[in-house]
A and B are shown apart, each in its own frame.
Chain A
Amino acid sequence: MPPLLSLNQVCREFQVRGRQVVAVDTLDLAVEEGEFVTVVGPSGCGKSTLLNLVVGLLPPSAGRIVYRGRAVEGINTAIGYVTQKDNLLPWRTLVENVEIALEIRGAAKNERRRRAGDLIGQVGLSGFEDHYPHELSGGMRQRANIIRTLIYDPELILMDEPFGPLDAQTRIVLQDQLLKLWRASRKTILFITHDLVEAITLADRVVVMTSRPGRVKHIAAVPIPRPRDVYQIHMSSEFREVYNKLWNELRPEVAPA
């Protein structure tokens, strides 16, 4: 069976002040259905560009993006996208933000409210349904950002450093919640982070990218059994082994000699 998503020799260039900048260079990557793949790399290595290419907001300069065996042109609505900024609509309450994808699809109001309420409960936001985004903390907004994507059940979910701006404790709690949501739904997730511990904790496979131009440097499987305990996992010897291997790959990219 072909992979759910594959990128073949994908390049993307930008014009910045008249100069040609290569953000993503001859990148090859395949993601299998049901897989949790994380991508780590130094900042500015084209990770966000990669996601914008996959979802179809940006066309590649060269190469092909194949989804379920077919080349994709334009926005691929089978894919959900959780951005780094929470991007909640500030004039909508929490529940109105969470249900917006169902509203777009024309679902009945009580059906929308029921499913939004379920998800809000699962991530511990019950009681905040009628709050506006500015009345919520960063962690709460990011949870809302994630569940408003889960609610319409996209086959593949892209996540761009969704826990990046959060404090360490909140991150761990949200990682745990994300793994539980993922296990219940068996979605395919492509998750970008700059945090190697987070990448290993969550992933079936970790992709290391080179610094600009972004290219796949190394892919490592994470042979740690699931369900995983995100609070304890980093103390296991398997974790340390994967971590050391990946850090050796990543270090020359982060710290220029």
Chain B
Amino acid sequence: MTGRGRLFVYRLLFGFVLLAAWEAASGRLIDPFWVSRPSDIFKYLWGVFADGSIFGHLAITLYETFVGFFIGATSGIALGFFLARKEVLAQVLDPYIVAFNGIPRIALAPLFIIWFGIGPNSKVILVVTVVFFLTFFNTYAGVKGVDVELKNILRVMGASERQILFKVTIPATVPWIATGLKISLPYAIVSAVVGEFIAASKGLGYLINYNTSLFSTTGALGGILILALVVVLCNEIISRAEAYLLRWRPRENGRKSNELY
């Protein structure tokens, strides 16, 4: 079996052991009222998927996450490139950007609900404020860090500033942007759910909150399990996109531990 295949089996096994321990403990060590049990949760999940009632919630949370992620990422990347080329403006704005980023988003969430209503818009905005800063800081650092020698080499060859932007600055910044996107995706999902907790009529966050208020730990944990799966799936997709875009980079884990450098 290949390394990847074996890894996958080990991962499945680990998850299975966790669930088995949970199942065994529930009803014997702990009252299932508090922690439910995996078999009940899967029964619940089976039910909501079979009758289709989950899809509306799932769709709304994914919508909030991805629309917010897209707007936040594109504006963060654009501002990162822009400010990296405007030294003075960047220095003027620096304390404000740091201050805005320092605000805990949970403090903003109720305000956004007041401003933008209890529908998906307020959650989209919340996601934007998280993703924007993470991608902005990474893009800015990336553009600033581009090797001046590489740019000079192209200048000597007669390249225009526009050609240097497309042939050096942007490709050199891709790894930084990819890192920004990768770390902000889980935060995007969390922000959408947090927004739904504050006030919403639909979405996975709303569903979890609703089940909790009914003391249905089965429903709450079921919703959490779906969220966890969505995060893992999104992370896998973005990791693969990253591996493809950065195929020119030496693989760090390609070295063997018994080699010296």
Contacts and interface: CB of A to CB of B under 8 A. Distances in A.
B150 A77 contact: no
B156 A89 contact: no
A36 interface: no
B156 A87 contact: no
Contacts of B171: 89, 91
Contacts of B96: none
Interface string B170-183: 01101000000000
Contact of B156 (A77, A90, A91, A92): A77
A83 B249 contact: no
Nearest to B168: A89
**Dominant secondary structure at the B interface:** helix
A85 B154 contact: no
Interface stretch (B114-122, B157-165, B216-224): B157-165
B167 interface: yes
A204 B168 CA distance: 37
A80 B174 contact: no
A117 to B, nearest CB: 19
Interface residues of B, number: 21
Contacts of B159: 104
A101 B153 CA distance: 10
A104 B157 contact: yes
A247 interface: no
B157 A91 contact: no
B248 interface: yes
A85 B147 CA distance: 12
B85 interface: no
Interface string A76-102: 010111010101011111000000110
Contacts of A83: 149, 153
A55 interface: yes
Interface of A: 55, 57, 75, 77, 79-81, 83, 85, 87, 89-93, 100-101, 103-105, 132-134, 152
Interface of B: 147, 149-150, 152-159, 163, 167-168, 171-172, 174, 247-250
12 contacts: A81-B156, A85-B149, A87-B153, A90-B248, A91-B172, A91-B248, A92-B248, A93-B248, A100-B157, A100-B167, A104-B157, A104-B159
